[in-house]
A and B are shown apart, each in its own frame.
Chain A
Amino acid sequence: MSVLLAWLRVAFVDLRGDLRRFGVLLACLALGVATIAIVGSVGAALQSALERDARQLLGGDLEAGLSYRFAEPAEIELFQSLGRMSELVEISASAQLREGETAFLTLRAVDANYPLVGTVAFSAPQAPGATLSDLLVERDGAWGLVAGSLLFDRSGLAIGDRLTINGTSFELRGVLGEVPDQLTQAFTIGVPAVASVQALKATGMIEPGVLAQFRYKIALADPDGFDAAAARIRSTFPQAGWTVSSPQNATADLSRFFNIFARFLTIVGLSALIVGGVGVSNAIAAYVTERQRSIATLKALGASSSRILVHFLAQVVALTLVGILLGLLLGAVMTVLALPVLGDLLGIDLPPVIDPASLAIASGFGLLVGVAFAFLPLKRAEALRPALLFRAAGTAVEGGLNWRQLLAPGFLIPMAVTTGLIFLLALLATRRPVLVLWYAVGIVVAFIVLRLAGLLLQRALKLLPAPRHAAARNALKSIYRPGAPAPTVILSLGLGLSLLLLIALVDNNLRHQLDREAIPDAPSFVFMDLFDDEVASITAYTPTNPDIESFEATPVLSGAIESINGAPAASFNTADEEFQALLGQEIPLTAAAALPDRSTVTAGEWWPADYAGPPLVSVFSELGNRLGLAIGDEVSFRIFGEEVTARVANLRDFTWRSGSINFAFILTPGVLDEFPVSYLGFLKSVPGTERDVQQALIAQFPGTIFVPIAEALDVFAGILNSVTNAVALVGGLAVVSGLLVLAGAMVAGRRQREADAVIMKVLGATRRDIVVAYLIEYGLLGTLAAVVAAILGVVGTWGFVEFVLEIGFSVDPWVIVGVIAAAVVLTIAVGTVTTWSALSVKPASFLREE
């Protein structure tokens, strides 16, 4: 032990001196660690906020929900016996504003007790001090409506103006701000608006078949009595089909979304650190090159190879710890700054608190990456032969390890252990083994491909006939000469660029999905809650309007999966969280005689168009496979309180975003006849006539609810923007890491480049001669790195988009061209800057120093 301590003491004393040479190493580590720390801390803060505010986000201790009717008096009595109760109904509504103008609303009808937890933010300048209930009462022939600012902005309406909903008059009395339980509801397309339950009943909109959510929020007398209260509701009204949610259930979807998002960002952050690891490797390699004489001296004085390894490994660990500390500080500061901003965006309170577990994980990653990437150059130091160094004057050319040395246990075992630990830590951070495995495969492939690309370039250039022009000749030779920085430049630049391209192309693909042109038969308008007569009217009207291409309607109602082959859905476990969630809530159901467009039967058979036998069901194949469904299995649904059992007739495959109507479960015709259904209608207009068609529909069918699809896509696009901006921010840190690594690779070779430039000048080369040679060299390296990165980026994007996001894959060639061009320019610029400084060295002063 004392021997080891003595070795360590010498190692740390040896580290004294100008630590600025380790600037790039420290920056690479710090940036990577900071990125992971920020992502982890923000993710933890979001989860913690959801747990802390779950009760407020649900709006009570318990929520009982139905999709087809108000609670009956006996049910209300039970709810009120459990604690303080508030009634809330959510429904889509079309508001008639002025002549020919409508607005699509997401209407919340509330009672006087709402909200039970938290407060509704609103402004009512004409009624200062008024409560929400005060604003919503009927007065002067109109009910009160408090609507989101978007309604006022788009329509030019003001407080005091009136509108009608289903013929009932409403007066705008306030501007709606945040609603405490809004975050947990599915994101809305329409403008949010609040009215009273009495007002909703007065509109007459609530008819059997209308898609609405009837929610009863209860602040339990016994806050810990959720289980007992839920059991009582289910056992007292077993046939009604009440969905009973706890605060944890309510936040489950959001928690899942944040989790998925945080996992993805963790992977991006880990990429930043791995790219930075290349910088660590380059910096340590340069340091070892610089210290070759010292190493030779130590060995000449009797130091063993293992002592050399311990000496420099201790220095690497010390530097890594400094880098980690800097990264944690940076991560903590940025987390503290980011959390309140993010909280404002999401409408939840996110106090600036650091998560210790996230910092620990980030530190672990930093230490493992630092050691793993420094290990190869350290082994080179261990293997240096002092005799070689004492033969040559000036800077010696350092050799690499041969295959035998790379496969030796002394190298292989530590590398296997550290990379294995990185993998385990990634598993711990993301809890997605398949994602981490494929990510690891992708990184290894990227490394191998880029390394091979560098080697192949060198081999190919060596075999090429020498160009006639000396500058070109020297440039090409500089790429394949021993000790050339070419492999490092290609690896460093290639990794950073691959990541940048991956992020840019994934963003592009996501946005393309929302581009209507990407959906071949995208409808122009979507109608909701249509009844039979309205469907008939619109169908009859369609041929009379030349601007309308087509209209189709499909029946839809909500139902929940009750059991599968007799086993209750609640007891069913799938490995997939998203499908697990599907089993716990109401889902849209439909019936159809014919196989929907763009669908294919993958197992079983589709029923005849005139089928009239026992209920059958067609299941989306991916869902069916994950549930383990086979042809002939029984699935029971609870619809309007009644149990409907259907036998699986086929599994069906389709593309969700093909533009045609499709559902996860389709029943045979007639199954839904005894239930009050409404229809979803899809109307397609001639491109460019949407505005005219909208006016015509409002005039012809004033009571119908429809939304222009462009508006819906705008909402999606707005959410997507926030998501992709966050990804781009984190990804940007990874790219900065790549640039640091590239700069480090250039700086590491600077001394030799200065010496070479001086000799060239002495021999009569002009600055132009030297610069032209470097421009050719770095231009070639940048181009190759960019081309390989483009291939890796496109392949990586395809894999991610197809198998993780499960959306269509497309490539925008201009994005790739732009990134390649930027990479070439950047490489030349960085190479030129470092070369220019080398050219500034006066030959006389250099030669004198020697």
Chain B
Amino acid sequence: MTAVVEAAAVNLHLKSGGEPLHILRDVNLTLERGEVAAIVGPSGSGKTSLLMVLAGLERATSGKIVVDGTDLSGKSEDQLAIFRRKSMGILFQNFHLIPSMTALENVALTLEIAEAGRPWRELADRAAAALAEVGLSERLTHLPSALSGGEQQRVGLARALVAQPRLLLADEPTGNLDEETGERVIELMFGIARNRGTAILLITHDPDLAGRADHLFHMRQGKLTTEAGPA
């Protein structure tokens, strides 16, 4: 089976106030289609940075990253953007919905970017279906300001999955939600992803959530390890 994610010896150096910081140290990671991997670790350990690097939002200083068959090294920003629209969905802790767009428009935005030539009606129907999948068919025309945190995150989830990505990256998807709402979001996320064979890489502080993943990774001071040893 072709891995969805293959990261080898990935390093990331950033500058903070003029001082160089070694954020990621020789990270190795492989994720197959349909698998769920969780990364846990203390704040500032590099978890989010790893997600950024895998998403092409941050450039690795060294190492090789292949996601869904695309080698991210040497790609321009636009090439990385095109890569993301074809292969990836991202779910944020702070939702990051566009405040002046309705729930439907926020979800359809992914499709508009990925399939620019399609008629709006078709894209809207697919976005509506995605929102129905997360239980928000009654809230299509509502702005984010009219939605609760859990509802906003479900919109975020629909947006992340509507284009049927091969990989879903979720950064603390339940961090701003209460336990019950968070559980509901996770159930949806796992269910939709498993049905479609989407690989999931999620960052979480929740040990229960981490325990439900197929693979558990620990990130500490930029080094990624499994429970059994270095990844």
Contacts and interface: CB of A to CB of B under 8 A. Distances in A.
Interface in B184-225: none
Dominant secondary structure at the B interface: helix
A483 B145 CA distance: 12
Contacts of A768: 78
B208 to A, nearest CB: 24
A3 interface: no
A471 B77 CA distance: 19
Given A397-B145, A765-B113, A844-B57, A482 B100 contact: yes
A69 interface: no
B190 to A, nearest CB: 22
Interface string B73-89: 00001100111111010
B129 interface: no
Nearest to A766: B78
A767 interface: yes
B21 interface: no
B99 interface: yes
Residue from B86, B144, B145 having most chain A Cβ neighbours under 10 A: B145
Interface stretch (A217-225, A563-571, A584-592, A756-764): A756-764
A763 B84 contact: yes
Given A393-B152, A396-B99, A765-B113, 5 more contacts: A761-B77, A763-B84, A764-B86, A766-B78, A850-B96
Interface string B93-119: 011111111000100011011111101
A756 to B, nearest CB: 6
Top 5 nearest A-B pairs (CB, nearest first) are A764-B85, A466-B120, A470-B116, A766-B78, A392-B145
Chain B contact-residue range equals: 35 or more
A847 B113 contact: no
Contacts of A695: none
A20 interface: no
Contacts of A765: 81, 85, 113
B99 A397 contact: yes
B173 to A, nearest CB: 14
Contacts of A397: 99-100, 143, 145
A384 B84 CA distance: 38
A468 B117 contact: yes
A209 to B, nearest CB: 81
A388 B146 CA distance: 8
Contact of A756 (B58, B90, B98): B98
B99 A392 contact: yes
Interface in A454-500: 466-471, 473-474, 477, 481-484
B48 interface: yes
Contacts of A483: 99-100
B48 A848 contact: yes
A769 B100 contact: no
Given A763-B113, A848-B48, A477 B81 contact: no
A764 B143 CA distance: 22
Contacts of B152: 393
B57 A394 contact: no
B119 A468 contact: yes
A477 B105 contact: yes
Contact of B96 (A394, A468, A767, A848): A394
A843 interface: yes
14 contacts: A393-B149, A394-B96, A466-B119, A470-B116, A470-B117, A471-B116, A482-B100, A759-B96, A763-B159, A766-B82, A767-B77, A844-B57, A844-B58, A847-B52
A477 B144 CA distance: 16
B90 A762 contact: yes
Contact of B144 (A394, A466, A764): A394
A395 interface: yes
Contacts of A760: 109, 113
A767 B78 contact: yes
Interface string B46-90: 001000100101100000000000000000011001111110101
Interface string A808-850: 0000000000000000000000000000000000011001101
B150 to A, nearest CB: 12
B125 to A, nearest CB: 13
Interface string A235-259: 0000000000000000000000000
Contact of B112 (A474, A752, A847): A474
A393 B147 CA distance: 10
A171 B78 CA distance: 84
A792 B194 CA distance: 61
Given A470-B116, A756-B98, A850-B96, A391 B109 contact: no
